[in-house]
């Protein structure tokens, strides 16, 4: 187990939601596993007036709610001694000399030798200003010490559209070099997403089939059961395309569809995902209506409880046209995937919370044996990669039913991560924070990947913004979205897979 060099993690926005829910619990978990270096400190930054003690006390209360296991009091006490706080306004350039001074103190105390990670866990509107202010103090410079490093982690969203994404990259790269920049997409930190790489490239049996000759189509679903839950203001300005598709789902697509990298170096792997993203066939304005289905949930009763529609959520305008559901059909124009449609969907207030990739293999050329449950059809061979929850992989194939004749039934072979009971499956933020400390950017998005995603998404966003008549379909909360989303499939199958047909089993493995 490689332990990172001593370093300080500076969290801008340390009084906020992400810090308490994800970052501090992830760091605490790394502390418990002895994965943090001996000399390690966190410096939280925010306008909220706190001192070190108040910051620690606040997090001590919150950690019980957000850490996934039982909090060992002794371990927490030792860990919390590494937490510090500086009250300052990140937007105010005059506050940065005191940041520099505080860092110098902690640097000497923890012997970190100038290794700093700046984590922008703050409103995206201030990303650019913070980077500029760090630059004014030379806090990004690596020449100021021998063999030290300075890294910058940027939370999504990386911009609001193509132009603002490019502008943010320009601002950041005026101060930091690309190798110092770590754009975090927590989906890439998930074990099951990384396992797609291992599954594809460490087994000889699947990769020969992984192309247009054997695969008929691929589905990627990211469904959320929850609504906007108090984040109406943010959500209404973003919508599900920006919130889920532009980043998480296109990154997953990049991994599912990439060519084998020549080695497992950060840039070699990322070169391959960028090739996929830049080969996405642009959806022409006249095809948007037929290839992209937008939806918005309306009030319904779920499990006996009345649920509000999106337009009735707090801080959502009553005539909002923001989509809470999206389904799209897209193509990758290269030799491996020519003609294979990829169906992507994401949404809120769907029947269950699930993220999965479904690889649909082509049917046999002749139907010798019919599916017992679906006569006149060949056996559907599907490979289902469940990203969350109940992470695992399942392969569906036909088996003969015992007895007379040749009745065939679809059965499954599956692997569940939960069965690896003695192995700690790290949270995405644990893995990604550790990777950044180790200087491994493989699972972080590079500038060209982010901009390729925006290039693909931008025309869709622009068409919706310009055309107030563009279609947005309603769907009752608790259902799988507008029925029009099934029309995307014409000719390929009956429509989307229903990952969890039985709501009473929600949270269980259901069909997987």
Residue 243 lies near ligand NAP (rule: CB under 6 A)? no
Residue 145 lies near ligand NAP (rule: CB under 6 A)? no
Q: DSSP 3-state assignment of 449?
A: helix
C-alpha to C-alpha distance for 352 and 369, rounded to whole angstroms: 34
Provide, rounded to whole angstroms, the least separation between the CB of residue 126 and ligand NAP.
5
Residue 156 lies near ligand NAP (rule: CB under 6 A)? yes
Are residues 423 and 415 in contact, defined by beta-carbon separation less than 8 angstroms?
no
Q: Rank residues 39 and 46 by Cβ distance to ligand NAP and give the closer one.
A: 46
Provide, rounded to whole angstroms, the least separation between the CB of residue 237 and ligand NAP.
11
The 8-class DSSP code of residue 90 comes to T
Tokens 């992209």, located at residue: 292
C-alpha to C-alpha distance for 141 and 67, rounded to whole angstroms: 34
Per-residue x/- mask for ligand NAP, residues 22 to 51, rule CB under 6 A?
Answer: ------------------------xxx---
Provide, rounded to whole angstroms, the least separation between the CB of residue 215 and ligand NAP.
32
- Binding residue for ligand NAP, selected from 80, 121, 247, 324, defined by CB under 6 A: 121
C-alpha to C-alpha distance for 281 and 332, rounded to whole angstroms: 6
Residue 90 lies near ligand NAP (rule: CB under 6 A)? yes
- Binding residue for ligand NAP, selected from 43, 103, 122, 175, defined by CB under 6 A: 122
Q: Rank residues 128 and 157 by Cβ distance to ligand NAP and give the closer one.
A: 157
- Binding residue for ligand NAP, selected from 3, 16, 320, 414, defined by CB under 6 A: 16
Q: How far is CA 347 from CA 224, 295, 297, 488, 495, in A?
A: 6, 8, 9, 16, 16
Cβ count within 10 A of residue 53: 11
Provide, rounded to whole angstroms, the least separation between the CB of residue 154 and ligand NAP.
8
Q: Taking CA 456 as the corner, what is the angle to CA 450 and CA 457, rounded to the nearest 5 degrees?
A: 90
Two tokens, residue 281? 């066939």
Q: DSSP 3-state assignment of 512?
A: coil
Within its chain, how far is the Cα of 398 from the centroid?
A: 33
Residue 15 lies near ligand NAP (rule: CB under 6 A)? yes
471: closest CA among 481, 484, 458?
484
Is 248 a known active-site residue?
yes
Q: Which of 31, 248, 360, 416 is catalytic?
A: 248
- Region of 76-84, 155-163, 218-226, 414-422 interacting with ligand NAP (CB under 6 A): 155-163
Site for ligand NAP in 358-417 (CB under 6 A): none
Query: Residues interacting with ligand NAP, by CB under 6 A?
Result: 13, 15-18, 21, 46-48, 90-91, 121-126, 155-157
Catalytic residues: 248
């Amino acid at each position: 187990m490689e332990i990172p060099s001593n370093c300080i993690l500076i969290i801008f926005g340390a009084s906020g939601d992400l810090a308490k829910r994800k970052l501090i619990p992830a760091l605490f978990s790394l502390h418990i596993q002895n994965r943090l270096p001996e000399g390690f400190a966190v410096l939280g930054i925010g306008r909220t007036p706190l001192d070190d003690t108040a910051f620690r006390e606040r997090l001590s209360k919150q950690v019980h709610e957000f850490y996934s296991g039982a909090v060992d009091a002794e371990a927490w006490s030792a860990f919390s001694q590494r937490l510090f706080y500086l009250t300052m306004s990140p937007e105010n350039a005059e506050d940065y000399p005191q940041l520099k001074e505080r860092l110098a103190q902690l640097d000497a105390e923890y012997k970190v030798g100038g290794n700093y990670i700046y984590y922008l866990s703050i409103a995206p509107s201030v990303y650019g200003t913070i980077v500029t202010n760090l630059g004014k103090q030379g806090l990004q410079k690596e020449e100021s010490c021998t063999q030290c490093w300075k890294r910058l982690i940027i939370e999504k969203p990386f911009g609001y559209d193509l132009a603002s994404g490019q502008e943010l990259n320009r601002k950041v790269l005026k101060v930091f070099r690309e190798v110092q920049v770590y754009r975090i997409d927590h989906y890439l930190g998930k074990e099951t997403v990384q396992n797609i790489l291992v599954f594809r490239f460490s087994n000889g049996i699947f990769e020969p089939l992984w192309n247009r000759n054997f695969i008929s189509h691929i589905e990627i679903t990211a469904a959320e059961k929850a609504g906007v839950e108090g984040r109406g203001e943010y959500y209404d300005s973003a919508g599900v395309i920006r919130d889920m598709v532009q980043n998480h789902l296109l990154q997953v697509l990049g991994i599912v569809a990439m060519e084998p990298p020549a080695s497992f170096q950060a840039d070699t792997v990322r070169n391959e995902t960028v090739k996929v993203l830049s080969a996405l066939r642009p959806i022409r304005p006249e095809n948007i209506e037929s290839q992209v289905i937008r939806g918005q949930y309306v009030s319904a009763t779920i499990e006996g409880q009345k649920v509000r529609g999106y337009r009735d959520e707090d801080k959502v305008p009553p005539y909002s046209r923001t989509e809470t559901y999206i389904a799209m059909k897209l193509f990758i124009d290269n030799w491996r995937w020519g003609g294979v449609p990829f169906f992507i969907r994401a949404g809120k207030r769907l029947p269950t919370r699930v993220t999965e990739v479904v690889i649909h293999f082509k049917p046999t050329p002749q139907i010798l044996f019919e599916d017992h449950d679906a006569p006149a059809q060949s056996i559907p061979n599907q490979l289902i990669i469940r990203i969350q929850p109940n992470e695992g992989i399942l392969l569906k194939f036909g088996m003969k039913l015992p007895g007379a004749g040749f009745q065939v039934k679809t059965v499954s072979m599956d692997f569940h991560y939960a069965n690896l009971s003695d192995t700690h499956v790290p949270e995405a933020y644990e893995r990604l924070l550790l990777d950044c400390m180790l200087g491994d950017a493989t699972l972080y998005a590079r500038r060209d990947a982010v901009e390729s995603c925006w290039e693909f998404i931008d025309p869709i966003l622009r068409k919706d913004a310009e055309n107030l008549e563009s279609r947005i379909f309603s769907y009752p909360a608790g259902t799988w979205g507008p029925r029009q989303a099934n029309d995307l499939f014409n000719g390929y199958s009956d429509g989307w897979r229903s990952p969890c047909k039985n709501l009473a089993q929600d949270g269980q493995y259901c069909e997987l």
